[in-house]
Amino acid sequence: MAFIPHTPEDVAQMLATIGVASLEQLFDEIPAGLAIGSLSGVPEALNEMQIGRLMGERAQLDGRALCFIGAGAYEHHIPAAVWAIATRGEYYSAYTPYQAEASQGTLQTIYEFQTMIASLAGLAVANASLYDGASAFAESCLMAVRMNRKSRSKRILAARSVHPHYRRVARATAGHQGLKLEELAYDARSGRTSLAALAAHDGEDITAVAIQHPNFFGVLEDVDALASWARARGIPVIGIVNPTSLALIKPPGEWAGGADIAVGEGQPLGVPLASGGPYFGFMATRMEHVRQMPGRIVGRTLDAQGHPGFTLTLQAREQHIRRGKATSNICTNQGLAVTAATIYMSLMGPRGLARVAAACHARTHELAAALTRLNGVSAVFDAPYFHECVLRLDRPVAPVLAALASRGIQGGFDLAAEYPELGHALSVCATETKTAADIERYAAALADALRAARAA
């Protein structure tokens, strides 16, 4: 951040201009007993070069582990231009436009974001974002209840292969409003949602069916078959998607009959991992459902002189009126993260996103091939996957991950707590940031860790 210090002459001139004798006089409302003369324990000031060296040494202490964890947050390359632009003052300090039409730049950014998300999802309209992917899914469940008025059950069917955090957030957010999230079994061989599990609910009052594609295991679902089952019975379909994958695979709007709502986590679009946030969620839907969509929508229009401009075309927000009948409990969009995502998508373009997705897919297949060649490592599922896959080890995963961490490798996500039925299962992910050397290093470290565990 740029910083220009004021000289004593600058300070004296400003004080004289406002008619104050000293800086202390500006704070004369503070009781004298609360003032202190000096700060003890504060070291002498360092110059810019010394500060740079100190911070570099501190950063090296943190290290930079190779990360092969996915599970909903992904390490992608972010072009330097993304945050160089997003952290410019006119973007960095801009916030949700409460005086909307006075914030034309912010509105245009949101409009461009909505347009890109709607295009990725293959649906007509997207909102200005939500807090994260999990809360977006929770909001989509509530939206489905409002859309499907003929259903009285408030029952949402979602596979156990939907992200467990998403399912928990949906229950926490909507459970006290009577919504019931019911889990569908996945096929033990393929990792896909079982059509037989859906068929068991034939003839029942179901409010919506939620499909994650790729699912939490990274497996590609048979979305056309699942969506067809729901559409044939007049049941709305919620698609939970990874935006990077949409550059290659069929978007929710093009599933058989088309999904009604698409939601997901926007972090892969130019937002760093940052220890878990802040991230943002996205939501898109069909035009006929737009008035049930939570949050804000920005539209493009013409003013009285015929000049193009941007305005809020939908603002169904609880803080203004009818709190008890609000469409949602969203208080703002994740403006800065959305700005970065808009810049990222603009820089990458459709072909750039497709190259990233293809590289992720290829790196993960290379990783899976390298690891399953090791004694004691095997693939759990046989269905196609995008950029995550599940492996089974011949011993508990947690100690193996700890051994890898000691070698500077974050080896994946231990599925034991969430999916104990899979045994010693490990979810691994590789994005475009990983090289052949990185994969070789991981495979060698895992082989050493397994050998050491057997010898112990």
Strand order in the sheet with 413-414: 377-379, 388-393, 425-429, 413-414
Whether the predicted pLDDT of 318 surpasses 70: no
Rg (CA), the chain: 26
Tell me the mean pLDDT in the region 390-419.
97
pLDDT mean across residues, the chain = 92
Hey, is 414 helix, strand or coil? strand
Tell me the mean pLDDT in the region 43-57.
87
Helices first, then strands: H and E counts in the chain:
12, 15
Output the six-digit token pair for 108: 């245009």
Whether the predicted pLDDT of 188 surpasses 70: yes
Domain boundaries, the chain: 66-78+350-455, 81-345
Q: Are 368 and 391 in contact (CB under 8 A)?
A: yes
Beta-strand ranges (E) seen in 151-288 are 155-159, 180-184, 208-213, 237-241, 261-265, 281-285
Please, what's the b/e burial string for 275-299 (b: 16 or more CB within 10 A of its CB; e: otherwise)?
eeeebbbbbbbbeebeebbbbbbbe
Contacts 24+ apart (CB under 8 A), 144-151: 144/207, 144/208, 144/236, 144/238, 144/260, 144/261, 145/179, 145/207, 145/208, 146/292, 146/327, 147/236, 147/260, 147/289, 147/292, 148/207, 148/208, 148/235, 148/236, 150/234, 151/205, 151/206, 151/207, 151/235
Per-residue pLDDT tens digits for 154-178: 999 999 999 999 999 999 988 888 9
- Range with lowest mean pLDDT among 58-67, 177-186, 188-197, 254-263: 58-67
Per-residue pLDDT tens digits for 129-138: 999 999 999 9
Output the six-digit token pair for 121: 């999802």
Output the six-digit token pair for 223: 């979305």
CATH for the 81-345 domain, from 3.40.50.10610, 3.10.20.600, 2.30.30.20, 3.40.640.10: 3.40.640.10
Q: Residue 295: its pLDDT value, please? A: 84
* pLDDT range class, residue 70, cuts 50, 70, 90: very high
- Label the pairing between strands 237-241 and 208-213: parallel
Q: Residue 1: its pLDDT value, please? A: 43
Q: Which helix (H) or strand (E) holds 49?
A: helix 48-62
Strand order in the sheet with 261-265: 125-126, 281-285, 261-265, 237-241, 208-213, 155-159, 180-184
Between CA 266 and CA 285 the distance in angstroms is 16
Q: Residue 333: its pLDDT value, please? A: 64
Output the six-digit token pair for 18: 């406002």
- Range with lowest mean pLDDT among 43-47, 68-72, 301-305, 327-331: 327-331
**Does the bond joining 294 to the residue before it have cis omega, within 30 degrees of 0?**
no
Q: Residue 95: its pLDDT value, please? A: 60
Tell me the mean pLDDT in the region 55-75.
90
* pLDDT range class, residue 34, cuts 50, 70, 90: confident
The fraction of the chain above a pLDDT of 70, given in percent, is: 94
Choice between 3 and 142, residue whose per-residue pLDDT is larger: 142
Per-residue pLDDT tens digits for 350-404: 999 999 999 999 999 999 999 999 999 999 999 999 999 999 999 999 999 999 9
> Phi then psi for 299, rounded to 5 degrees?
-120, 165
* pLDDT range class, residue 98, cuts 50, 70, 90: low
Shared fold status for 66-78+350-455 and 81-345: no
CATH class of 66-78+350-455: alpha beta
Choice between 450 and 331, residue whose per-residue pLDDT is larger: 450
